[in-house]
Amino acid sequence: MNALRARFSLTLGDFHLDATLEAPDSGVTALFGPSGSGKSTFLRCLMGLIRAPGGECRLGARIWQEAEDRTFIPLHRRRLGVVFQTPRLFPHLDVAGNLAYAWRRTPPERRRLDIDAVVGMLKLEDLLHRDPRFLSGGEQQRVAIGRAIVTNPDLLVMDEPLSSLDHRSRHEILQDLERVFRELRTPVIYVSHDFDEILRFADRLALIERGSIRAIGPVGEMVTRLDLPLAHAADAGTVVEARVDRWDEAFALAELALGGGPRLTIPNRGWPIGAPVRVRILARDVSLTLEAPHRTSILNVIPATVRELFPENPAQVMVKLDVAGWPLLARITLKSRQNLGIHVGQSLWAQVKSVAVERE
pLDDT tens digits for range 243-278: 999 898 899 999 998 876 788 999 988 888 988 888
| Structural domain boundaries, residue 314 | 237-359
Tell me what percent of the residues of the chain surpass a pLDDT of 70: 99
Domain annotation covers residue 270: yes
My answer on whether 184 and 273 are in the same domain is no
The neighbour count for residue 49, using CB atoms within 10 Å, is 12
Query: Which pLDDT value is given to residue 113?
Result: 80
**Alpha carbon of 359 to those of 153, 280, 281, 282: distances in Å?**
30, 6, 9, 11
- Of 344, 291, 352, the residue nearest 321 (C-alpha): 344
Query: Which pLDDT value is given to residue 269?
Result: 82
What average pLDDT does this structure show over 217-237? Answer: 95
Among the residue ranges 14-28, 177-191, 340-354, the one predicted with the least confidence is 177-191
Task: Name the pLDDT band for 201 (thresholds 50, 70, 90).
Answer: confident
- Assess contact for 349 and 292: CB atoms under 8 A: yes
Tell me what percent of the residues of the chain surpass a pLDDT of 90: 67
What average pLDDT does this structure show over 130-150? Answer: 93
Domain annotation covers residue 295: yes
**Domain boundary residue among 199, 222, 245?**
222
Q: In what order do the strands lie in the sheet with 155-159?
A: 80-83, 155-159, 188-191, 28-32, 204-209, 212-218
Buried b (16+ CB within 10 A) or exposed e, 298-328: bbbbbebebbbeeeeeeebbbbbbebeebbb
Which CATH number fits the domain that encloses residue 34? 3.40.50.300
Domain annotation covers residue 232: no
Task: Name the pLDDT band for 89 (thresholds 50, 70, 90).
Answer: very high
Query: Which pLDDT value is given to residue 178?
Result: 83
My answer on whether 31 and 160 are in the same domain is yes
Measured CA to CA, the distance from residue 192 to residue 58 in angstroms comes to 23
Domain annotation covers residue 231: no
Whether the per-residue pLDDT at 358 is higher than 90: the answer is: no
What average pLDDT does this structure show over 69-91? Answer: 90
Domain annotation covers residue 189: yes
The number of folded domains in the chain is 2
Measured CA to CA, the distance from residue 189 to residue 173 in angstroms comes to 17
Query: Which pLDDT value is given to residue 164?
Result: 82
Query: Which pLDDT value is given to residue 212?
Result: 96
pLDDT tens digits for range 329-339: 999 999 999 99
* Bigger pLDDT: 205 vs 54: 205
What average pLDDT does this structure show over 65-69? Answer: 84
**Domain boundary residue among 188, 222, 256?**
222
Query: Which pLDDT value is given to residue 339?
Result: 96
My answer on whether 100 and 248 are in the same domain is no
* Bigger pLDDT: 132 vs 69: 132
**Domain boundary residue among 161, 188, 222?**
222
- Assess contact for 17 and 29: CB atoms under 8 A: no
My answer on whether 216 and 284 are in the same domain is no
My answer on whether 147 and 255 are in the same domain is no
My answer on whether 195 and 85 are in the same domain is yes
Domain annotation covers residue 313: yes
Query: Which pLDDT value is given to residue 295?
Result: 87
Which CATH number fits the domain that encloses residue 247? 2.40.50.100
My answer on whether 184 and 138 are in the same domain is yes
My answer on whether 130 and 19 are in the same domain is yes
Quickly list H helices, the chain: 39-47, 95-104, 115-122, 137-150, 167-183, 195-201, 219-222, 334-340
Measured CA to CA, the distance from residue 27 to residue 244 in angstroms comes to 22
**Do the strands 62-66 and 263-267 form a parallel or antiparallel pair, or are they unpaired?**
unpaired
Task: Name the pLDDT band for 39 (thresholds 50, 70, 90).
Answer: very high
Domain annotation covers residue 227: no
What average pLDDT does this structure show over 279-293? Answer: 94
Whether the per-residue pLDDT at 360 is higher than 70: the answer is: no
My answer on whether 109 and 172 are in the same domain is yes
Task: Name the pLDDT band for 214 (thresholds 50, 70, 90).
Answer: very high
My answer on whether 202 and 286 are in the same domain is no
Query: Which pLDDT value is given to residue 291?
Result: 93
Q: What is the pTM of this model?
A: 0.90
Domain annotation covers residue 229: no
My answer on whether 266 and 135 are in the same domain is no
AA identity, residue 358: E
- Assess contact for 277 and 243: CB atoms under 8 A: yes
pLDDT tens digits for range 157-183: 999 998 888 888 888 888 888 888 888
Query: Which pLDDT value is given to residue 180?
Result: 85
Query: Which pLDDT value is given to residue 114?
Result: 84
The mean of the pLDDT values for the chain is: 91
